[in-house]
Amino acid sequence: MADEHYEVTVIGGGIHGAGVAQAAAAAGYRTLIIEQRDWAAETSSRSSKLLHGGLRYLETAQFGLVRESLRERNLLLQLAPDLAHPLRFNIPVYRDMRRRPWQLVVGLSLYALLSGLSSLSRFSISRSAHAALRTQGLQKVFRYWDGQTDDVQLTRAVIRSAQENGAELLCPARLLQASQQPDGYQLTVEEGRGEEGTQESLPIRQLQTDYLVNCSGPWINQVLGLVEPLPQQRNCELVKGSHLVIREKISSEAFYLEAPADGRAIFLLPWGEHSLLGTTEQPFRGDDPQAVAVSPQERTYLLETAHHYFPTSNFTVIDEFAGLRVLPSGDNRAFERPRDCVLHLDPQHPALLSLYGGKLTTYRKTADKVLQHIRQQLGPRAVRAATDKLPLQV
């Protein structure tokens, strides 16, 4: 990189950073994205890998989020056919469950309406869905469609698309400091990755940027803490979600199960030749987001739910992973808190925008909203491409 001046610099190479870099580069801005570990190394490799509206968010009346997510799901299925596919979901309803059949009819009808009555919006009701599914007390099985992706491959495809549209990539490289200047920020960046356990000093680089976008996921407030003068931060909570990778492929369809312990929704999903079982919601109390790990209690909770519905099936755990959701702080259960992405601005820092929370499914729409702020601040450029037309390839 000969010229060290950028119009837009993005911190964080997860799905949001990738999406913002793609949108900014496609809109004609000289763009740089900086990632400290690897593309999709953190939350964006630890999701449930669903492109979905989030049927369960209807219970907390997040209709706008569900409609936007369903539109983006449908668009991604078209733009990235090698990376995203429709997946049939089954919701078994038992006599002793909290959610009643009429509630599911209402919920799925609303889900169909919010998805614009697309080809994936049809749902059906059946007597059973799987030979091994517990039949005692089973009333009905509701069947509907959503989408599945590989979160790592999707993020990397968006990064490639950003690069093809002119974005420059810097990875591994860590932002150490961002000092506000009259016309943007001066950034201090440490390049490379030192040997673990050594105190090796790494090359330091100074860069200038007109606009800074903080897409550092669970590090969001830590990265804001690197900015001088210190900007306002939002109160947020990091909530852990864990998944188990199960050796046995229980089904090529997905199951949406109500955990007997607390009524939460648990997914049993096909994952290549295996299955994926998740997820949980546990407050994360540590200081280092990289230290997040599956606890024995979460393992037991997930396996008990799976055995409850598939009592004769084997669930051999061959891998596991945990990720962190960034949710607004609150006294209510994590499940009840909004899952929208919040774009945070501080009037004293008009060229700095931070993304709190959000969903994999809506990354492109979120990036579009970020772009509107960038345009307001920097003015428009000659547009190279529109992200809703850019195909994404493996």
Ligand X SMILES: Cc1cc2nc3c(=O)[nH]c(=O)nc-3n(C[C@H](O)[C@H](O)[C@H](O)COP(=O)(O)OP(=O)(O)OC[C@H]3O[C@@H](n4cnc5c(N)ncnc54)[C@H](O)[C@@H]3O)c2cc1C
Residues that bind ligand X (CB under 6 A): 11-17, 34-37, 41-44, 46-50, 174-175, 215-219, 223, 241, 279, 323-325, 358-361
CB of 105 to ligand X, least distance (A): 24
Nearer to ligand X, 101 or 338 (CB): 338
Q: Rounded to an integer, what distance in angstroms lies between the CA atom of residue 102 and that of residue 191?
A: 57
> 74: exposed, middle or buried (C-beta count within 10 Å: 0-12, 13-18, 19+)?
buried
CA distances, 112 to each of 49, 64, 232 (Å): 21, 14, 40
Nearer to ligand X, 54 or 107 (CB): 54
Nearer to ligand X, 66 or 129 (CB): 66
Nearer to ligand X, 34 or 162 (CB): 34
- What DSSP element (H or E) covers 29? none
Nearer to ligand X, 15 or 24 (CB): 15
CB of 326 to ligand X, least distance (A): 7
CB of 355 to ligand X, least distance (A): 6
Nearer to ligand X, 296 or 379 (CB): 296
CB of 151 to ligand X, least distance (A): 7
CB of 383 to ligand X, least distance (A): 24
Nearer to ligand X, 27 or 324 (CB): 324
CB of 220 to ligand X, least distance (A): 8
Q: Which two tokens stand for residue 223?
A: 């990265």
Strand ranges for 226-348 from DSSP E:
227-228, 236-246, 254-258, 265-271, 274-278, 282-283, 317-328, 342-346
Nearest residue to ligand X, by Cβ distance, number only: 14
User: What are the φ/ψ torsions at residue 379 (nearest 5 degrees)?
Assistant: 85, 165
Q: Kind of pairing, strands 184-191 and 173-181?
A: antiparallel
Q: Rounded to an integer, what distance in angstroms lies between the CA atom of residue 359 and that of residue 302?
A: 22
CB of 282 to ligand X, least distance (A): 10
> 143: exposed, middle or buried (C-beta count within 10 Å: 0-12, 13-18, 19+)?
middle
Strand partners, 183: none
